[in-house]
Structure 1
Amino acid sequence: MVPQTEGTSSPQRQPMKLPAYSQAAVAQRLGEAPEPPTPGVMYEASHKRVHEAGWHTKRYFKRKSLHGTNTQVEARARNTTRTMLSVIVSGLSVLLLVVIIFVSYASFSNAVDKQYHGSILTLQDMLPKDNLKVYDAQNNLIFQRADDGVQTTQPLNKISKNLVNAEVAIEDQNFWKNSGFDITGIVRAAIADLTAHGVVAGGSTITQQLVKNTIVGNKDTALRKLQEVILAPEVTRHYTKEQIMGMYLNTIYYGNMVYGAEAAATRYFGLQDTPTQTAAQQLDIAQSATLAGIPSNPELRNPIAYPRNSYSRTLQVLQQMYVQGYITGQQKADAIKELQKPDFIKRTGLPPEQASTYVNYVLSELTNDLHVKPADLPRSGLVVKTALDLKLQNFAQANAKLHVQQMTAHHITNAAVVVMDQHTGAVSAIVGNIDPNDPKYGSFNVATQGYRQPGSSFKPYVYATAFEQGTASPGSKVLDAPLTVPMCCGLPPYQPHNYSMTYGGWMPYRIALDNSLNIPAIKIEQTAGIDASLKTAENMMNISDGSQSKAANVFFGTPNITMVLGALSVRLIDNTQGYATFANGGVRVPYHAITEVTDQNGKAVFKPDTTGKRVLSPAAAFMMTNVLSDNPSRNIEFGPCSSLYLYTSSTSQCYSGNPGKVIPAAAKTGTSNSFVDNWTMGYTAHYTVGVWAGNNDNSQMINVTGVDGAGPIWHDVQLYLNQNKPIVKFPGPPSTVVKQNGDWVLKQ
């Protein structure tokens, strides 16, 4: 293009524009790009530093720091997120765990309530029962079973308030107001134990301890503890605090096989019941604190075996009693002085067992009457009252032993005695062995366990049968002469003999019986009949009644013609029952040693049946008593002053005509074959006494009859029984009896 010259008026021309997308335009624009600088060439520009020295370094570190900060912020954000998630998850887990625990606890609690609800309702019946106790007729304790410990329940108002306060102070401070379970008590106990460096306070409440000891058991497990916690409030809802305290104090273990406050008061301090106070009621502050310190560890804190441990624990109890306001400082100081006395602890064991033979029979009678096992008796809670006259028992025991010792030359080593009230059936004395401690025979009770041949003491049952039938009477005449009795089945004939081997000819049955002649006895048995006579004996001895459990067997032996001479073996106590029936006019009253059985709360559990049953006619009973009390009729065999005659003077005085006071008595002797057994059976208007003498091994005595072996013992025991009683004659004849030819017969 030609440039325009000056002065020219034509318009200026503009270069032609190319389209932007054209290749020429692109090329034109490429030409417009600046040339790259030539190395080493200085261009016009300012050479002043844009940034100060070290700026780039600082920027580097700032950027690095910022990167680190951002990284930390991001990490914190991530951690925060994780933490929140963890918290949320943990919270949900805890909530879920709480729900699970709550549901499990509720289910477990319901299960425990369901399982033990009945036990709570009957808690008082589930408490350990008192040990068995046996008392004599004068209410003296003569025996108690201690196999499983000693316990005597007393109402709370008969237990010292000092003991109540001591137990609460050391075991359960909030007992009177808590619901049976005390969280604060557990915490307080833990703090007290840590402070004292030992166990000074219990964590379980008194109610929990009661639940443990009576319902859930004492296994040391978390499950058992949880059961306690669940059940204790239930117990509190069903029982008053006083009831709970009474149950606790009567059953808690105080060591040395004693349970409850009453037994502990006696065991450790020698306290005994008085007419106005129980032993537990007499406990003072020091004694109560000592007892309260035992239950937390009975083995190591009982004051007999571990007096130092007991003393230390008692001081802790006294301190708690003082702190909680139960005692004053002066009372605490006085109690500590009492603790330090050398005779503070009075070790007291069980009273010695008395009348062991009698007691053993009582226990056997108890198991039969109540239908219980002997193993169930020790902690049965039963209180057994008996008919035992302890003074009489001791007298009879000593007298039998003395007489046996006096007869050693005749080879007598043992004797047994039974004393019975024929009007009530009460057995007031049983001597089963002269030496109950004899290692070989002492435990065997001949009176109640020994089946022995009664000899002629069996004859009155046969005579009474004939008297009742009217086939014979005391005045009927019988020929006492050699006798031959044909036997059946090819057996040789039976030829009985009198003991003296002599014969008296014709005589009344009265004389024959009083002098114990065998031939007349065989003849009257033939008249009365063996079966009828045996039935009479069974009825009078009370050994054929199916409800009578005292006799395991009716008799030993086979009833036959020799039965009247005593061939059947019977027990002394049953034979005494038979003679008591004679004494009671033919009315049998079942014999018994137990007069009443009560539970530990005094509720009657058992009383014997003392209903009389007529088993022999009044006429036959009267005639038998009249014959057996006819002392002159006995003169042929026994003389006028034998031991069967109850006179109070000496034998020489009696023979000189001065017998002293004479007590009407009916008696009969018996001697088995070969002098193995001696018997004397008889009665007065008050008592019936049966005596046996012989040897435990059934060996023969030497020339001893019933009047010599058993008679003197019978005589002495009857005199003892009647010494302070008025002389009472036997009842007169009933209307069914009349006198004919000088003797009594049935009225036609």
Structure 2
Amino acid sequence: MSIGRLLKYLSLLLLFMVVSAAGLLAAAYVYVAGDLPRVDTLSDYRPPIITRVYSDDGAVIAEYSRERRILVPVERLPQQLVNAFVAAEDSQFFRHQGIDFISIVRAAIRNLQAGGIVQGGSTITQQVAKSMLLTPERKFSRKFKEAILAWRMEQRLSKEGILYLYLNQIYLGHAAYGVQAAAENYFNKDVQELTLAECAMLAGLPQAPSRFSPYRNFSGAKERQRYVLNRMADEGFISADEARAAFAEELTIHPRVNRHIAGAAYFTEQVRRYLEQNYGEDLLYNGGLEVHTSMNLGMQQAAQAAVRDNLRDHDKRRGYRGPLRVLAPAEVDDFLLRQQESLDSAAPEADTLHEAVLTGSDERRLRLRLGARSGTIERSEARWAGTIEVVAADRPAAGNANGGRTRLPLGSVVQVRITKVNADGSLSLALEQEPLAQGALIALDPRNGLVRAMVGGYDFGTSQFNRTIQARRLPGSAIKPLIYAAALDRGYTPATLILDNPVIYREVSASGEETEWRPKNYDDKFIGQTSFREALALSRNVVTIKILEDIGLGYALNYARKLGIEAPLPRDLTLALGSAAMTPMELTSAYSVFASGGVRTSPSYIVRIKDRDGRVLESIDPGDFPMGLGAGQRLLGQSPERVISPTTAYLVTNLLESAVQDGTGQRAKVLNRPVAGKTGTTNELKDAWFIGYVPQLVAASWVGYDQERSLGRYETGARAAAPAWISFMQEAVRDLPPAHFPVPDSIEFRPIDPRTGLLTTEDAEHLRFEAFAPGSAPTRYSMDEKDLKAQDFFRLDLEDLY
């Protein structure tokens, strides 16, 4: 056969193969193309994005998402970041039409040489098609579909549009999707603030985000950064000198973004529950809601610290329970080695809690080990644990909860707080223990009902039960201002005299059995004739019971409802002693009526909610809905409502100022500004309260055990709850100017003799300027002791008392 004929046959064969291949490709295209997703859907790119929760000053306090993504418009993406990704992932991006055949061939050769898949030939456009329109399966059919979709995308979308999809969609490790989330994760920066070196490190991550994580493998991340910088130089995006300088730049990899601010967990969890209940999980975790709250971050963190410190102090007054456990001598080294491994990532810091092992002692101090570090506890600083006796490891441990000595065997594991990291690396320590009691603190602005701080317990990590809004506890004497307010509207005045004397209530049950109730005061004493003001300031139980009986239970119950109390209330005189269980939020809201001058505003911890497009869904401000409420929109809270007169509200506040100045709330005087407040202590000291306010802020502190039992001897509201309130308020009002409570124009001040409740001259020996509602001041003058007269519906002969 001649060469010419052979060439002719070969040409025909080649033509046949080309036509056949083209036909097969065309058939495959027709077969596949009909089932492909529509590229048009990408023009309305709405991926899952994070829901962010903000404090009142715009700080992010929590994030909720399944994919942590923050969309960034193309115009906000720095050019050097775009260039870095293009150079590393698809250098021909701005020149091809979705498929780079040269890259495909080059990748195929590399993969054949390696005997496996080591390099892909996908363009950026193909990567977008795969991640957004296809499944991640590794099949030829998927690659074929990917190529078709990439070509179609290039026909319908601009290069900038494709980059927008790519740089917002791509996974870059540690739950970060897109470049903005990654910039925050690794560098704690906005994407526009990234340096060339940081851009190159991010661009090196797509190949293997976990393997080249800057957190886990910084050296590997640096090698990928070098590769990206060299590619940028090769493509002419930067010079070789710029590449070398960027590689030499020292990078600070920040700890992963803590999406729940320390101390804010109880507050943000309440927000999360609200969003889930009202919008569902999908919108909460994927919908990109923007939630603005009323939380003041400084106040919130001060509240958390106040609750924790106060509970620790209370627990120390109850005694030391002994070591957490005791290690055998052979176990100590292994324990310390494991502990050091967990501490390697961060050096111990002052005021943090740890476990430490007791290794020895002398007359002045205890010696301990915390990982590889040594530390000491001065015995003088651990007196709350009694006299500490260090004994051999085989001796039993014993705490001093019931007084006496504490016995600590060598090898005891105890909780400590680092008080100082010394220059030589050793640690100064303080002995600590986890408290068993729980606490809560709620603070709100009485002028608008906005909740500024909410702490529902000692540690959210161990108990998510939010005691400010979920725990119904007996308020004890903290209920009394509500009853006294009702009495003021029934004709009582701050100068009204009442007898504090023994009373007996007898009752016959349905079975005919007679029972007696003999109410008593906390101190088991009766002081005889006392004024309305003094009775509240000193929290006299019997006087309050008498007042409640006089004004009527039905009236008092309705009055409490008017102030915002929704809890079930007993229809008996024990109401005067706080026998109705209610939440701290509920009682604080009622006190806010007094602080606001008689206006009730529903507490609110959410100020505004926007959807991902900026449309307001909920707000406390009617001005956010200028065209009225549309579909899916809601006005939060209720309109402020006047429920008592400004006069009555001021008189209660004025009476509660006396409780701080001269009564059970005297600890609060340390604020050195006008303060109104009231303690609360229940029977058997199971609940301790302090609720108080300044004109700008009202707050309540509660302490008790979840499984009710006594807080201990003398653990009253003043001792167990007030310190947390004071610690919080000292921080909360630091930047608030001292202010007096506004006095309504209708209030009348008159000089009275506190012994008689009658008018006196301004030069009299016994004198008090008393506040009265209009027309309620006495008209008679006190002349001598014959004028002593107690307004008491239990009529007694005063001569029996004087």
| TM value normalised by structure 1 | 0.70
Q: Cα distance 1:715–1:202, how it changes in 2: closer, same or farther (>3 A)?
A: same
Match for 1:365: what amino acid?
Answer: V
- Structure 1 residues 174 and 588, CA gap change in structure 2 (3 angstroms): farther
Say yes or no: does 1:241 pair with 2:164: no
Shift of residue 684 of structure 1?
Answer: 1.2
Confirm whether residue 427 of structure 1 aligns to residue 427 of structure 2. no
Aligned amino acid, residue 575 of structure 1: L
The change in CA–CA distance for 1:419 and 1:170 in structure 2 (over 3 A counts) is: same
Aligned counterparts of 1:324 and 1:623: Cα–Cα separation in 2: 79
Which whole-Å CA distance do the structure 1 matches of 2:14 and 2:161 have between them? 51
Shift in alpha-carbon separation, 1:670–1:289, aligned structure 2, 3 A? closer
CA distance in 2, matches of 1:233, 1:518: 84
Change (3 A) 1:365 1:327: closer
Does residue 324 of structure 1 match 2:244? no
Partner of 1:348: 255
The SS at the match of 2:179 is helix
* Partner in structure 1 of residue 44 of structure 2: 122
Q: For residue 667 of structure 1, give the secondary structure of its aligned residue in structure 2.
A: strand
Supply the AA of the counterpart residue of 1:569. A
| Cross-structure match for 1:295 | 206
SS of 1:526 mapped into structure 2? helix
Q: 1:568-607 maps to which residues of 2 (within 5 A)?
A: 568-598=580-610, 604-607=616-619
- Alpha carbons 2:266, 2:455 under 8 Å: kept: no
Distance in 2 between residues matched to 1:692 and 1:346, nearest whole Å: 42
CA–CA distance in structure 1, aligned partners of residues 153 and 570 of structure 2: 64
User: Does residue 281 of the first structure (1) align with residue 210 of the second (2)?
Assistant: no
1:170 Cα offset (Å):
3.1
* Partners of 2:266 and 2:456 within 8 A in 1: no
Q: 1:376 and 1:95, CA in 2 relative to 1: closer, same or farther beyond 3 A?
A: closer
When residues 359 and 92 of structure 1 are mapped into structure 2, their CA distance, relative to the original with a 3 A threshold, is closer
Q: Identify the residue that residue 681 of structure 1 maps to in structure 2.
A: 691
Aligned residue for 1:448, secondary structure, equals coil
Pick aligned residue for 2:472 from 451, 454, 458: 451
Corresponding residue number in structure 1 for 2:299: 392
Change (3 A) 1:505 1:746: farther
Q: Counterparts of 2:167 and 2:18 in 1: how far apart (Å)?
A: 48
Kept in 2, the 8 Å contact 1:158–1:281? The answer is no
Deviation per CA, 1:696-725, whole angstroms, max 9, x where unpaired?
432212123222222333334334433443
- In 2, the alpha carbon distance for the partners of 1:282 and 1:182 equals 30
Q: Which amino acid aligns with 1:433?
A: G
| C-alpha contact 2:494 2:533 (8 A) present in aligned 1 | yes
Aligned to 2:134: 216
C-alpha contact 1:483 1:519 (8 A) present in aligned 2: no
Q: Is the 8 A contact 1:418 1:690 kept in 2?
A: yes
> Does the 8 A contact of 2:266 with 2:454 survive in 1?
no
Query: Under a length normalisation based on structure 2, what TM-score does the superposition of the two structures give?
Result: 0.66
Structure 2 residue corresponding to 1:409, chosen from 311, 317, 338: 317
Residue identity over aligned pairs, in percent, reads: 27
Instruction: Indicate conservation of the 8 Å contact 1:454/1:671, yes or no.
Output: yes
Equivalent residues of 1:586, 1:621 under 8 A apart: yes
Shift in Å at residue 537 of structure 1? 3.1
User: Which secondary structure does the structure 2 equivalent of 1:294 belong to?
Assistant: coil
Shift of the 264–401 alpha-carbon distance from structure 1 to 2, 3 Å rule, reads closer
- AA at the equivalent of 1:540: L
For the structure 1 residues 599 and 624, does the alpha-carbon distance in structure 2 shift closer, same or farther, using more than 3 Å as the test? same
Distance in 2, matches of 1:597 and 1:236, equals: 37
Name the one with the larger helix percent.
Answer: 1
Distance in 1 (alpha carbons) for counterparts of 2:522 and 2:255 = 58
Q: 1:410 offset after TM fit, Å?
A: 5.7
Quote the Cα distance in structure 2 between the aligned partners of 1:512 and 1:104: 91
Unmatched 5+ stretches in structure 1: 1-71, 73-82, 545-553, 649-661
Residue number in structure 2 paired with 1:15? none
Point out where structure 2 has 5 or more consecutive residues left out of the alignment.
2-9, 320-435, 621-635, 751-756, 759-769, 777-802
Q: Distance in 2 between matches of 1:312 and 1:394?
A: 41
Which whole-Å CA distance do the structure 1 matches of 2:53 and 2:239 have between them? 43
Amino acid at match of 1:710: A
Matched, 1:617 2:623: no
Identify the structure with the greater strand proportion.
Answer: 2
**Alpha-carbon separation, structure 1, partners of 2:152 and 2:130:** 13
Aligned length: 614
Alignment-derived partner of residue 663 in structure 1: 673
In the alignment, the residues of structure 1 paired with residue 275 and residue 135 of structure 2 have an alpha-carbon distance, to the nearest angstrom, of 33
Of the three residues 272, 278, 298, the one matched with 2:188 is 272
- Residues 33-91 of structure 1 show CA distances to partners (whole Å, capped at 9, x for unaligned) of xxxxxxxxxxxxxxxxxxxxxxxxxxxxxxxxxxxxxxx9xxxxxxxxxx9x9999999
1:319–1:522 distance in 2 versus 1, CA, 3 Å: same
Q: Distance in 2 between matches of 1:495 and 1:240?
A: 86
Give, in whole Å, the separation in 2 of the partners of 1:90 and 1:346: 56
Contact preservation (8 Å) 1:265, 1:283: no
**2:494, 2:772 within 8 Å by CA — same for their partners in 1?**
yes
Instruction: Quote how far apart the aligned CAs of 1:672 are.
Output: 0.8
Aligned positions of 1:249-648 closer than 5 A = 249-268=167-186, 271-273=187-189, 278-284=190-196, 286-306=197-217, 310=221, 313-335=224-246, 337-338=247-248, 344=251, 346=253, 348-351=255-258, 353-356=260-263, 358-369=264-275, 371-373=278-280, 377-378=284-285, 380-407=287-314, 408-409=316-317, 413-435=437-459, 439=462, 442-468=463-489, 470=490, 472-481=492-501, 482-484=503-505, 486=507, 489=510, 490=512, 492=515, 494-541=517-564, 544=566, 554=567, 558-598=570-610, 604-608=616-620, 609=636, 612-614=639-641, 616-618=643-645, 619-631=647-659, 635=662, 638=664, 642-644=666-668, 646-647=669-670
Residue 129 of structure 1 deviates from its aligned partner by: 0.9
Which deviates the most, 492-501 or 194-203?
194-203
> What letter is aligned with 1:533?
A
1:649-697 Cα shifts (integer Å, max 9, x gaps):
xxxxxxxxxxxxx422221111111111111111111111211123343
Of 343-352 and 671-680, more deviation after overlay is shown by: 343-352
1:624, distance to aligned residue in structure 2 (A): 1.7
Q: Deviations over 1:254-285 (max 9, x none)?
A: 223332223333544xx333xxxx2453231x
**How far apart, in 2, do the equivalents of 1:91 and 1:346 lie?**
54
TM-aligned CA distance change 1:732 to 1:310, over 3 Å: closer
**CA shift in 2, pair 1:187/1:516, >3 Å:** same
CA gap 1:699/1:121 in 2 versus in 1, 3 angstroms? same
Q: Is 2:772 the partner of 1:744?
A: yes
**Higher-Rg member (1/2):** 1
